[in-house]
Amino acid sequence: MKIEIDLNDILRDEFGSEENLAESIRRQIIERFYGDFRKRLFERMDAEVSLIMTQQINAVMTEKMPELIDDIMNVAYTPVSTYGQRGAATTFRDEIIKSIAANMKYEPRNYSSEENAFTKAVKSIVEKQTEAIKAEIIKQVDPKFKEDAIKFAVKTLSERLGLEKPK
């Protein structure tokens, strides 16, 4: 194994001046500490600046967001189709209203996955109301039906068996 040591690198400073061993060790330790300290300092500064920037952006967004949303909703634009054909000028708000109006139609389909949200909501409400009415009817009709069925059965059996009519 061969180890080569270039004393010019060790015993010369950054300007090429000669220095003794103690000065060289001192200089290298200082350079090492300075490099490590500088690296940690910049990492910490980056983290703190990032945190402050995030806080400032959030504060500005909280303050300015309503105005930005209002501007976005009301700015006019011209829609362009996939073929490059230009449509009539419109706003984002108008397009949302048009889309909502288009989806507010009751259009039942063969499969529920093909139905729009309005149709699904109407069907859900009708189904819940139907179940409630059905439960109420069953609750009222079942006892009366049982009573009438028993009376009819007793009367029919009494007549067939020639028994006296129950009073």
Q: What pLDDT sits at residue 30?
A: 85
Is there a single domain that holds both residue 11 and residue 70?
yes
Query: Is the pLDDT score of 83 beyond 60?
Result: yes
The larger pLDDT score, comparing residue 57 to residue 144, is at 57
Total residues found in the chain within this entry:
167
Q: What pLDDT sits at residue 8?
A: 67
Is there a single domain that holds both residue 153 and residue 100?
yes
In-domain check, residue 19: yes
In-domain check, residue 88: no
Residue found by looking up tokens 């980056």 in the block: 46
Task: Give the Cβ contact number of residue 91 at 10 Å.
Answer: 14
In-domain check, residue 85: no
Judge whether 119 and 103 are in contact, CB under 8 Å: no
pLDDT for 87-117, tens place per residue?
Answer: 899 998 898 898 888 888 888 888 888 888 8
Domain count, the chain: 2
Q: What pLDDT sits at residue 50?
A: 94
Is there a single domain that holds both residue 64 and residue 113?
no
Is there a single domain that holds both residue 104 and residue 49?
no
In-domain check, residue 130: yes
Is there a single domain that holds both residue 57 and residue 106?
no
Q: Which residues form the domain of 149?
A: 96-161
Is there a single domain that holds both residue 103 and residue 62?
no
Is there a single domain that holds both residue 20 and residue 56?
yes
Q: Which residues pair with 18 in a beta bridge?
A: 12
Percentage of residues in the chain with pLDDT exceeding 70? 92
Is there a single domain that holds both residue 121 and residue 68?
no
Q: Which of 47-56, 79-88, 94-103 has the highest mean pLDDT?
A: 47-56
In-domain check, residue 11: yes
Is there a single domain that holds both residue 69 and residue 103?
no
Is there a single domain that holds both residue 118 and residue 65?
no
pLDDT for 19-38, tens place per residue?
Answer: 777 777 787 788 888 889 99
Q: What pLDDT sits at residue 159?
A: 84
Q: Where are the alpha helices (DSSP H) in the chain?
A: 7-10, 21-74, 92-103, 117-161
Arithmetic mean of pLDDT over the chain: 85
Is there a single domain that holds both residue 20 and residue 67?
yes
